[in-house]
Structure 1
């Protein structure tokens, strides 16, 4: 099968550091190639995959609306010329990219990794269209956009082969928090849990750049860093994430918003590390109680769940998560659609 993946410019594929969707696009491109398909990629400059790359636009997350309008026209021109060259268009970018091919024979899968703007879904499905499937990364995320058209839940994926699991850790192993240090991610709660239970807490992630979250970081988070019990590691690449997660007894995920998926939960599970997460968004879909972690309502319940963390078999935690979230599983799910 001839497959075209589309991604907005802004960050090259694969991303040099952070870039969740860009990382997904690269993984699927390589997995589809491994399965014997002919894969092409329409994305920003400096991207590369094993197949053909068609670069367009600029890699600048703060590029102007005019630049984005020009990029839209470039994609429309490309699809009008090339639409018969592909059996499947797998779109991780803007829904508007698909307008020229909505009613064409080529199969189209539109992917969402965040809450969906229903206005766009209604507008597109009101037009003549065929062979169009919408997917989102969790049942929760599907529920935000499922107002029209065909919808399916397809979870996000990681490549489990990139993570080195640890089947056992020491009793005094640290806890870990991984992610943006925005207030809605709940790092302040993770710090409180560590301090109240006497555990060390390893923290990996970027310092916020928005004014409100930077103030939160400076006033509530940074003063707690002591390098001994509350330890800030900085931004982590894949190798570093695997190293530190495999050492941790648990990943804390005390979110204060409805997280669409939460990739860091699966990254922890790939290392055999169970997750204790607040019951928001997709957390009940990613964590299966007692198998790869615990779902809790608040800080007090998170502390109580820590006492049960040794009951989870780390090898079984990884194996169970692999069966649901490895790229080999999810790529086949997309192709089966």
Structure 2
């Protein structure tokens, strides 16, 4: 089958550091190609996957994440490049969902965000305007949050288990991995580690002004020999950091549709102690691969039981349910065969194009190209 993948335009695939969606897309692209499919990936400049054809509509990485002009050029150019595939799997966001659902090629749109508030309202609007829209949830929790949306199925995110180093024993510290944001719980992790009398190592993305402000307010005052901030780590360093930990703390306060860091930790054999929000209880098996509790206070009562968890069982759980092979199987089962392709409407609902092809849409967009100088400015920043 000729399969097109549409990734967001902001970060290369695979990502050099932070980039959860891009890492999943990289695994999916490589896995589908290994399974014998002809894969074309539309992704940010700098993307490369062995055995996969890569198209980058933009000449350079956007100077800033979220620029509408860059997103439109990327999605329109990407769908133009994928006009001849049998099916499209779209990870790019609501804009990609809207446009791909109105084209002639069957498409699956993967919802990576939490379906609440503004994002839920956007998808309500998409359903009203794109009748062919088929969504994929990344957890049952996410799907239950919006049962009225047209979900074709649930496909969990995955990790490359073979690249995760397994350790049968730890070096005795607790780990925190994530973004520097209140809902991620770095401050709560510090409190849990102190109450348990165990050292805490923190690896976290801290680039945005809000993240830096949270760090200075809630984390920096506690740093010392027992609370160490490592910054943002690369992939190999992240796995090494997780594999040496006695457990990873995940005291989140907000519902998340899927948390890849939980899978990464367990792939290394590291148990997880997490608050029960969103998809956590679908990912972590309470009492088998870690402990799931309703509050951080309840988590504090089970830190002393970390030794009860079999680290080998953690890795086996990931290999069974969250491997790249499992990811590919789950998506292939939802793809629409070529012979069931549904013709697009003669007049798309958003653009009055003369044909259902995306090509006329792209031809009419006279959008500025990203100046090369932006690349240098981004690198210098």
From the superposition, tell whether residues 308 and 100 of structure 1 become closer, same or farther in structure 2 (CA, over 3 Å): closer
Superposition deviation, residue 200 in structure 1? 0.9
C-alpha contact 1:276 1:294 (8 A) present in aligned 2: yes
Which residue is equivalent to 1:256? 253
Q: SS of the residue aligned with 2:179?
A: coil
Partner SS for 1:307: helix
SS of the equivalent of 2:36 reads coil
1:225–1:36 distance in 2 versus 1, CA, 3 Å? same
In structure 1, distance between residues paired with 2:129 and 2:256: 31
Pair 1:71-2:43 in alignment: no
Structure 1's 56 and 281: CA in aligned 2 closer, same or farther, altered over 3 A? same
* Match in the other structure for 2:243: 246
Provide runs of 4+ in structure 1 moved above 6 Å. none
- Can you give the 5+ residue segments of structure 1 that lack an aligned partner in the other structure? none
Pair 1:279 & 2:259 matched? no
**Per-residue deviation, 1:240:** 1.1
Shift, 1:68, TM fit: 3.0
1:153 alignment partner in structure 2: 154
Q: Give the structure 1 partner of residue 47 of structure 2.
A: 47
Unaligned runs of 5+ in 2: 335-381
Q: CA deviation at 1:39?
A: 0.6
Q: TM-score, normalised by structure 1?
A: 0.90
Q: Partner residue of 1:295? A: 292
Instruction: Give the conservation status (yes or no) of the 8 Å contact 2:31–2:324.
Output: yes
Aligned residue for 1:320, secondary structure, equals helix
Q: Secondary structure at the match of 2:205?
A: coil
The equivalent of 2:5 in structure 1 is 5
Would the aligned equivalents of 1:122 and 1:147 in 2 still touch at CA under 8 Å? no
Report the Cα distance in structure 1 between the residues aligned to 2:39 and 2:258, rounded to whole angstroms: 26
Contact 2:114 2:255 survives alignment (8 Å): no
CA distance in 2, matches of 1:2, 1:72: 19
Q: How far, CA to CA, are the matches of 1:166 and 1:309 in structure 2?
A: 15
Residues 239-259 of structure 1: CA deviation (Å, up to 9, x unaligned): 112212111111000112112
Counterpart CA distance in 2 for 1:98 and 1:200 is 44
Q: Is the 8 A contact 1:292 1:321 kept in 2?
A: no
Aligned partners of 2:243 and 2:180: how far apart in 1?
Answer: 21
The question of whether the paired residues in 1 share the 8 Å contact of 2:7 and 2:22 is answered with yes
Displacement of 1:104: 5.7
CA contact (8 A) 2:14 2:22 kept: yes
Higher relative contact order, structure no. (Cα contacts within 8 Å, ≥ 6 residues apart): 2
2:201, 2:227 within 8 Å by CA — same for their partners in 1?
yes
Q: State the match for 1:176 in structure 2.
A: 175
- Structure 1 residue 62 displacement after superposition: 3.4
1:328 aligns with 2:347: no
Equivalent residue of 1:231, what SS? strand
Map residues 15-94 of structure 1 onto 2, 5 A cutoff: 15-49=15-49, 50-57=51-58, 58-60=60-62, 61-62=64-65, 64-76=67-79, 78=80, 82-83=82-83, 85-94=84-93
Distance 1:98 1:114, change over 3 A: closer
SS in 2 for 1:179: strand
**TM-score, structure 2 normalization:** 0.80
Task: Please report how far the alpha carbon of residue 202 of structure 1 lies from its aligned counterpart in structure 2 after TM superposition.
Answer: 1.1
Paired residue for 2:164?
A: 163
Equivalent of residue 213 in structure 2, options 212, 215, 218: 215
CA deviations over 1:71-96 (Å, ceiling 9, x no partner)? 344345x06xx53x212201001333
Shift of 1:127: 5.0
Question: What do the CA deviations read for 1:183-236 (whole angstroms, capped 9, x no partner)?
Answer: 21111111111112210111111225233x42321122112111x211112211
